[in-house]
Structure 1
Amino acid sequence: MRYTHPTLATLSAVFCCAPALVADEKITFDQHVAPILRQHCQACHSQDDASGGLALDDYNATLAGGAGGEVLASADVGGSRLWKLVNHEEQPYMPPGGEKIPGDQLKILQQWIEGGLLKDAGSKPKPSAKPAIAAVATDNSGKPVGEPAMPTGLYRQPVVTADHAGPAPSLAASRWAPVVAVPWQRQVSFYHTDTHQLLGIVPYVDGVPQVVRFSRDGSLLLVAGGRHAKLGNAALYDVKSGARLATIGDELDIVLAADISPDKLMVAIGGPKKKVRVYRVADGEQAYQLGKHTDWITALAFSPDGKLIATGDRATGLRTWDAAAGNERNDLRGHSGAITSVAWRADSSVLASTSEDGSVRLWDAAGNSIKSFEAHGGGAMSAAFASDGRIVTAGRDKKVKLWKPDGGHLADLTQLNDIALAAVFTHNGEQVIASDYTGEVRVVGVEDKQTNATLAPNPPTIDDRLAAAAQAVQAHSQTLVEAKQNNDAAQQAVEQGESAHADYQQKLAAAKEAAERQSAKLADQDQSLTAAKAYADASLKAFEAAQKQFATAEKQLASFREEQDADPPTEGDAEASDEAAARLAELEAAYSDASGAVAKQEAESQRARQQADAAARSQQAAKNRSDEANNQLAAVEQLQAGLPNLERLRATKAESDAAAKQAAEQGTRLASEQKELAAELEAFSQAMARLTDEAQQRAASQTEVAQSLGAAQAVRQAAAEAAEAKAQSVAQTKARLDEIKQQLRSLQAEQRELSAALKSSDERLAEIAEQMSEAERQSQIAESQVRDFTAAEAMRKAYAEAQE
């Protein structure tokens, strides 16, 4: 079994501490601790008188604890209640009613606990129950308190790359943050599920990842896999930094199924060896083994509440076990094909299993079958729950499907290019990430079922991306030129259009003014013509009336003359002659007046007619001018149809402005990306040299501290030997006490001085040991990072050489 220690700066707070060294000897119960307990504690806590059920006069009884449970935790001083009592950190203080145990004795107790609670020099340290990775405070749903973990500052340099990706058998999405893990050969890529940008790459140089899983709080990523028929393991990575915290297991074949418990205390792995091995993360030791499967382990998962673990194999076997101790709980029978995946609902009350038989089965925590439904023809490959209970599945029919919490079909989300291997919900349940046998990883919207992006399992190297960015910047410069030309042309078109519209409006206004003016003149002429015609008609009627009066007068005159000719007055009748003459004169005067009136009215009528004719001519001329003005207005109005569409031109200009702005922003972004990639490449190149240098410096420091430690140990040994010699001398002197009292006092004084020197030597030794421990820890950090970087760089070079 191989166990790699963490590489984070906070390791000392979360992993088992190495025991402090006291010379070369081990701190044991029998030799060092029992005398201290006998002196201070066994009066109240012996097997004969075990106050509170706690007996401290026997090793096993001490480890067993008392009525309140165990009082010691291996390698965890802060978790050992006995230490808190004797160090007066917790009441009731021990020993009761007195001072604390002397500091040098407390130091021995502390070192004994940190060293693993050894019984004697031949004992092995007790396994630590202390979490290897500090548990994160969570609420009932498992959500971490504070900001969920997101990758920050990770390098985006792949270990290997290729033009074509192979199968992506597993995907993992954080339950709390917009990040998804996409595995490929020798590496796992982190992508942002909202922006779809590459966030970083962590190397898994051990082989091909088969399983990726986020811890329930999203702070860790488990990567499991290896190389077929050669090795298999599971690695734990810190999501924020990308640091590899631990390597669990040392299988002889690849790991095909793995998971990390919700409290992050255990990791379970399984594969072709037909067994599930569960390891403690604290020390990497195996906690227990599940051995009832008869074929390859193909699926496993801890329940979200941490109480159960579900496992499946290639021979239809499906079981649940007690996660704490590994006792079998249920044998779930019903599938007729290999188990391909298992997944728990967030409340741990429902287990979903998929099988090569094409079905999805839902089980309750007690192992009872709830529902079974046919999901994918040819085989169902994976199932995953959303936080609201919806289920997404992937299968050999290339389809990714969405199901109700009760198993009712909701929708076919997408069809991939080949066998759909895995599908998971993003943190908010709004998208599904799905992968297929060709390596395509597709991001699909749950509501609109549209493909939002594809994520590359094999992203290009920083060099390739930098070259592509440079080409993009170069190509985009022409885009910027074209965008400016288009924008200038659009601006010119708008200006020309606005000018044409202004000219048209000017012509239209002039034509309307002319038409209105001519129309007014025509109205005046119409009025004049009407008046002239009325006057002509009136003159004609007056003329005709005069003619009638003339005819009457003429007729009366002729008739009177005829009457006078026929019957003239009697000659000599003067009165009758006078009357006839008067009557004739009257008629002749009337005739003359009528004749004059006729002549006058005739002249007047002719003048009126002439005026009417002139008015008619003027009116016709005005009408012609009005018609011409109206025709000109109509002609101008017809020009409108030929005018450019100003609204469209302005819309085109707005689009051109937006395109130019977008092109400028894209140019800025491309230049920024190019700069960032260049900086990232430089930082990546420097990181290897820096880490190597740091490792060498720490190695040198470790050697120096080791030399100091050796010197201090030699001093202490000499002091111890001198003290022992003086102690023997004191004993001999006591036998001759009466003879050499003065010599005894001198020797006792010298002994006290040597004891003080020995104590000083112990303190210096402890200080140097602490420095040594810190140097070793920092060296492990650097060595782990150097190892990952070196292995990844070697693989990159080998791949590059193979391509030449």
Structure 2
Amino acid sequence: MRHWNCLIVCLSLLPAVSAAADAKVDYDKEVAPLLRKYCAGCHNDSDREGEFSLESFAALQQGIKEKPALLPGDPAGSRMWRLISGVDEPVMPPEGEAKPTEAERELVRLWIEQGAKGPAGVEPDRLTLRVPHIESRTKLSPVTALDFSPDGKLLAVARYGRIDLLAAGPGAPQDWKLVRTLGELPGKVESVEFCLNGTQILNASGVAGSGGIATLWNVADGVRVRDFKGHRDLVFDATLSPDGKTVATCSYDKEIMLWNAENGEQIRTLSGHNGAVYDIAFSPDGKVLASASADDTCKLWRVRDGERLDTLGQPQKEQYAIRFSPDGKAVLAAGADNRLRIWELKFGDQPGINPLTVARFAHEAPIATFCFSKDGSRLITAAEDRTIKIWETKNYTELKLLENQPDVVDAVIADPSGERAVIGRLNGSLELLPLPAVKPPAPTAPSEPEAAVAVEMAAPPMTDAKETEPNDQPAQAQKIAVPIRIKGAIDSPAAGSDLDCYRFTAKAGETWVIEINAARSKSDLDSFIEILNTEGKPVERVLLQAVRDSYFTFRGKNSIQADDFRVFNWEEMDVNQFLYCNGEVVKLWRMPRGPDSGFDVFPGSGGRWNYFDTSGLTHAMGEPCYVVEQHPPGTELIPNGLPVFPLYYENDDAARREAGKDSKLFFTAQADGDYVLRIRDVRGGEGAQFAYTATIRTAAPDFTVSLANRKPQINLGNRCEVKFNATRIDQFDGQLMIDAANLPPGMTINTPLTIAPEQIEAFGVLSLSADAADPTPEQLKAIKLTATGKVAGRQVTHDIPAWEEIKVIRMPALELVIRAAAKGAQPLPNDGTSPLEFVIHPGETIMLEVVAERNGFKELIAFGTADCGRNLPHGVYVDNIGLNGLLLPADKSVREFFVTASPWTPEQTRMFHLQSNDKNGPASAPVILHVKPAEKPVASTNAATQ
């Protein structure tokens, strides 16, 4: 009923016509345009609202549900007229839509009365525009697409209604000789490409709202070889498969169509996008087709059967362009969200989740198009902000920025030589661009410059001194010789807040540790320290360039917590990246477990660490934050539309929380000369009670390791978890190895254990045999636990205080075992007495199985949430567990679980286990996990535990 109403309304919208009763109403010129304008939006061959279409006269004659829409010669009996005129309900068009005028309704009535005659002869092609021709005031002919022939001798330039073939040569492209024009194309030519070794050209075009077409041409004579028609709206792209057998087209009608290139017959339609499909691309092997859409996604399709392989859902707005990298290992897309994204094509033509590897904020406006150089070493992007950028493709960093283009660049193509590219603008102009060579990557500032001594530090013995006034200004700075310990106070009889300045000499590369002892000694001083040059200007430490913008969601953060950093667009961030938050810099430690959780930041527990001696701050919900990359001071950065943050040598509270509210700063001199240390109260306070001790000394990196629980409980014949905590001193971040010796008979621990670089804990498993006796105090005292690390190039070993008491429980208890799942990863062969060994590749997920021998334990077994994979390497985690974590229901004794390795995880071997979260819950027997590159074979280590 509703479609009839729409039809009636549409007919009533016909242009007002003052025609005599005997004047013949022309369907083609008077009725059809109105049906398209007012009715075909709902009642067309594609949507068929109300199961009715009036897209063509033939469709109109079909009526609805085998009933006629009109009775020729009888308006009063025609359903169509009765709905338009309001005689029947519901009146069409529906409420809220434009209504036809009386004259328009009369025109429809008269047409029906005259017999509702259709078009004379063949109905006009839907690609023919039936609108008045209005001459344009300007002679601009925008360039909409470009392509070079494989030999580089011809350039195809797509414009409105035609394709110009230019003979490439020296000089500006505007002056290149016109060889041939391929014309008589409907509307804007959206794409053009040379194919079949340059002998033919394929293009896409059409008329918005009416239909689209792809056309194949001979290059040699300009003969039109074949048309590919079927889309119901403008065709945005047409491309030929590498084997030359299949043409793919995409359209505003949301569809992708595959065609037989030899006979033009349609093979299949790929449906699934919820918006216009703007671009498509075949993989170099022709097995996969990628599509970019207005529905904010990209999709991968298998060509041979049309199966959708993956939906790349990270984009935030429409995607306008998509390409495969020349080696076929990655997919790139860009569009209205101003970002360039790269996904690893991990699964080829098989279904799977292809990981996002790079996301760059590339331009300050939507990216219109991009292309690779022939060798794939450079990428050229063009955006609606009238900028062009050239990128190297190893790390996708900018090589060159071209600003202030005369108009938007809508087309770009690199020539086969790889040395230049041609751009086409909407003002119709062409320009030749030389492509810059790929330079070696610029040096980056080390993330922990404080941890390494840059030069040999043969410092004299520590001396003591007292502050002397006046020293408020750098020019008045008290001269000192380092190393030194100074007693002073932020207290001055002069008006205003007191500042204390000290001048010292340092050589380039020397690292000095400057620390304040005030709050720890009950002083009222909340110190703030900074390093100035002799002119009183702050010394720049590092330059941070934002590469991704975000903001805090859900809730804010206090100045200490290290967990649940919920930020917008977290899917495009990764572990080990720096996050800049209003002057504070943290480092991402663990990924969220989903949209209802957040990042953990280093060190993963306790108070969060800050980097570059920034200090912890409170952050509000909605506050901006940025993923940043570091560069040495003075680096000339190519603007990317995001902020750049210079950081200086200054500190409020010690970056790793070891000094409370007192300040601690690691200063590395950039050149030989004098520098000024300035001390003040961060609140501007002063007084005799604002006393401090300032120490300037050489760095003394070191570590200590301790047991988290020195009085564990363990069931006879079972296992319990042991945890080792590392305290890193003066930002020593090297690897630590933990060993055990002299354990009592029947007791073992799976050493050596590793505390990885920058990490502060390791987990092991203490096992007790079924026939073991209770350990005696003498046996416990004989246990030797040690931690070893390399500090400043030398091996350093420290003892770890061992257990004070180990309580043995002699009763049946829950036992846990990790084993291979039937359809999961299989262990490496070993002698049967060693722990099981599994291999995982970076970027891979493997399936294992945990088995519980309950021994009367009837409750739910909880293994933890994000931390349930105990002692897994940094970057490897138990996956797919949700917010409740890894659980084994009370009525189950076996469950599968998944372990995922992040793509960047370094090669290593670790032992890991699962731990029941119940009080004194047992640990599983450890298994060995080898993280290895996919191409490397792995042999069993056949390692035995002590």
Question: What band does the TM-score fall into relative to the shorter chain?
Answer: 0.3 to 0.5
The structure with the greater share of residues assigned to helix is 1
Q: Name the structure, 1 or 2, with higher relative contact order (CA <8 Å, separation 6+).
A: 1
> Structure 2-normalised TM-score?
0.30
The structure with the greater share of residues assigned to strand is 2
Rg larger for = 1
> Structure 1-normalised TM-score?
0.35
